[in-house]
Amino acid sequence: MSAEHKGPDADILIVGGGLSGTMLAVQLLRLPGQRRIVIVESRSELGRGEAYSATELGHTLNGNAARMSVDPDDVDDLTRWLTDYIAAGGWPESDQQQVPVAELFPPRGIFGLYVQQRLAEARLIGERCGSTVEHVRGEVTDLQTNAAGLRLTLASGEHLTGRFGVLATGMFAAARTPQRDSNALNAAAVDPWDVNAMGQLDPQGRVLIIGSGLTMVDAVVSLEQAGHRGPIDVFSRHGLLPHVRRQPPTWPDFLAADLNIRSTRQLVRALREQCARAAEQGIDWQAPLDTVRVHIPRLWSQASDLQRRQFVRHVRPWWESHHHRSPPPSAHLLDRLIDEGRLNIHAASLLSVGSAEAGQISISVRYRGQDKATTESGAALINSTGIQYDWRRVDRALPRNLLARGLIQPGPLALGIAADAGGAVMDAEGRVSTRLYAMGPPLRGLWWESTAVTDVALQAKALAARLAAVSNVPS
Ligand SMILES: Cc1cc2nc3c(=O)[nH]c(=O)nc-3n(C[C@H](O)[C@H](O)[C@H](O)COP(=O)(O)OP(=O)(O)OC[C@H]3O[C@@H](n4cnc5c(N)ncnc54)[C@H](O)[C@@H]3O)c2cc1C
């Protein structure tokens, strides 16, 4: 590609075309100015990434349509799009939920179509200023920077050059990511999102699942859909299930009213008080909790590493299960399976994974409160341990090479990578790059919550404005 242009191949090279990379392109295309944007994405389609490539209708968003707009200036954007989509005959199963469109939990695959349509519209806006976006299909394996910009190396051996680069590489789902230290679990486990693999399992066989978060919920939905009717045993350190998402009323923003609340202890105490007050009025605890969300980036970035560690150790399991909630249809399925005695949730740590013999796989776990290990065996094992945020443990070419070149350094608590508040990445010496930026899940350590649709939508808008400003200056 380099040979076709006199200058760099792109003004802005985006690595990763999931929700983050695509929404960044959408925001850039909407801004005045002429720029060439290239997205390098290994998947065949932009706008889907891991989350929105889902083909299972039961794999829905975990928030209702009114909460999942990709336009930070228009909260009703998804609701309107979905209304038109359903009116045109899309998603006929939506009438089973029997609620207004704003309260529907759409399948994630359909959400991917919405993102793609917003990209198609933004392309038309961009064309008027001469801005373009191109999808180069491939995996970026290496990246180098120089005074003029950066140069990507693709697995095919091709190179691409650009004036500015953005790492929108998303999440490294533990089940799909080779780990540098241990791969035993993945080697033995079924992929939690492999719908076809679920259909191959013995329908009456016992399934063991490691991890009890939203990935587990997806796996249980797929097992049920594939006709599995045997027992399912879920093991996680705390044995906490995600709560079901309800539609609580609005609640006063108590953190905005008291900026002295900063430490984890102060936050937990204040939140408990607010929840007790809500309970006295017969109001759902989700109402006060939902007001905390917008303050998390500020609280996390102001906190010391010690305070962040305390949060991760003491509050994280509770935060994950209360804040990252299950869509109601999935939660109801889990409730039913628990009532039927088919689904059991255990508080137990995984110690080791044994080898599979005669169609049975065994694991060694330690139940909470016990000293000795217990062996459990089943017909299949599923890894639902969530996301690997520590890039040093991810055995993929790009993270490995970026770290080896000293172009990035781990973020706070080794979560993702370090960057300034506007997403410019920090090298191994702590210098802030003028060429390389990051957004979305790689900034987990900077903001804590940096993965959900609303986080990504806000970051895309802010980063587009920053990139437009720097890329308008000739270099
Ligand atoms: C299963 C699942 C369900 C989710 N459900 C919800 C939900 O209901 N609500 C919500 O708010 N959030 C949800 N999330 C969070 C979700 O990740 C974000 O909303 C969003 O998808 C993040 O987008 P992303 O583009 O940053 O990451 P990703 O979706 O992970 O996309 C990153 C893309 O980068 C590409 N890529 C990575 N490295 C390279 C490379 N070296 N070269 C080329 N391409 C590369 C990958 O192929 C991938 O397509 C979910 C996440 C997952 C994993």
Instruction: Among 276, 296, 323, give the residue marking a domain's end.
Output: 323
The response to whether residue 18 sits with its C-beta less than 6 Å from ligand 1 reads yes
Specify the number of domains making up the chain: 3
Residues 161 and 298 in one domain: no
The answer to whether 400 touches 424, Cβ cutoff 8 Å, is: no
pLDDT of residue 474: 63
Residue 302 lies in a domain: yes
- Which ligand 1 atom lies nearest to the CA of residue 154? 42
Residue 91 lies in a domain: no
Distance of alpha carbon 313 from alpha carbon 441, whole angstroms: 20
3-state helix, strand, coil in the chain (%, to 5): 40, 20, 35
User: Which mutation among 38, 56, 169, 454 tests ligand 1's pocket best, with the greatest number of atoms within 8 A of CB?
Assistant: 169
The response to whether residue 216 sits with its C-beta less than 6 Å from ligand 1 reads no
Distance of alpha carbon 229 from alpha carbon 333, whole angstroms: 13
Residue 102 lies in a domain: no
pLDDT of residue 433: 97
Helices (H), 313-370: 316-323, 328-339
% of the chain at pLDDT higher than 70: 98
The response to whether residue 40 sits with its C-beta less than 6 Å from ligand 1 reads yes
- Which ligand 1 atom lies nearest to the CA of residue 168? 26
Residues 336 and 447 in one domain: no
Two tokens, residue 411: 């973020």
Written as tens digits, the pLDDT of the chain (475 aa) is 444 446 788 999 999 999 999 999 999 999 999 999 999 999 999 999 999 999 999 999 999 999 999 999 999 999 999 999 999 999 999 998 889 999 999 999 999 999 999 999 999 999 998 999 999 999 999 999 998 899 999 999 999 999 999 999 999 988 878 877 767 888 888 889 999 999 999 999 999 999 999 999 999 999 999 999 999 999 999 999 999 999 899 999 999 988 888 888 899 999 999 999 999 999 999 999 999 999 999 999 889 999 999 999 989 999 999 999 999 999 999 999 999 999 999 999 999 998 778 789 999 999 999 999 999 999 999 999 888 899 999 999 999 999 999 999 999 999 999 999 999 999 999 999 999 999 999 999 999 999 999 999 999 999 999 999 998 766 5
pLDDT of residue 246: 93
| 376-382-383-386 Cα dihedral, nearest 10 degrees | -120
Q: What one-letter code names the amino acid at 383?
A: N
Residues 357 and 423 in one domain: no
Residues 342 and 225 in one domain: yes
The response to whether residue 169 sits with its C-beta less than 6 Å from ligand 1 reads yes
Two tokens, residue 373: 């290990």
Query: Residue 181 is part of a domain; what is its CATH number?
Result: 3.50.50.60
Residues 16 and 34 in one domain: yes
Residue 216 lies in a domain: yes
Which of 114, 162, 109 lies closest to 136 in space, CA to CA? Answer: 162
Q: How far is the CA of 151 from the centre of ligand 1 (A)?
A: 24
The response to whether residue 42 sits with its C-beta less than 6 Å from ligand 1 reads yes
Residues 330 and 313 in one domain: no
Residues 406 and 465 in one domain: yes
**Nearest residue by C-alpha to atom 45 in ligand 1:** 16
Residue 432 lies in a domain: yes
Two tokens, residue 92: 């006929």
Residues 208 and 258 in one domain: no
Q: Buried (b) or exposed (e) across 263-274, using 16+ Cβ within 10 A?
A: bbeebbebbeeb
The answer to whether 475 touches 16, Cβ cutoff 8 Å, is: no
Distance of alpha carbon 44 from alpha carbon 213, whole angstroms: 28
The response to whether residue 19 sits with its C-beta less than 6 Å from ligand 1 reads yes
Place of tokens 């006199």: 6
Residues 317 and 330 in one domain: no
> In terms of C-beta density within 10 A (0-12 exposed, 13-18 middle, 19 or more buried), how is residue 204 classed?
exposed
pLDDT of residue 356: 79
- Which ligand 1 atom lies nearest to the CA of residue 138? 43
Q: How far is the CA of 15 from the centre of ligand 1 (A)?
A: 12
pLDDT of residue 104: 96
Two tokens, residue 283: 């109001």
Instruction: Among 323, 347, 368, give the residue marking a domain's end.
Output: 323
Helices (H), 163-282: 184-188, 195-200, 214-225, 254-257, 264-280
Residues 395 and 437 in one domain: yes
CB-CB neighbours of 367 under 10 Å = 16
Residue 313 lies in a domain: yes
Domain that holds residue 330: 175-243+326-383
Instruction: Among 276, 303, 323, give the residue marking a domain's end.
Output: 323
Classify 27 as helix, strand or coil.
helix
Residues 204 and 268 in one domain: no
Residue 70 lies in a domain: no
Residues 155 and 181 in one domain: no
Dmax (CA) for the chain in angstroms is 69
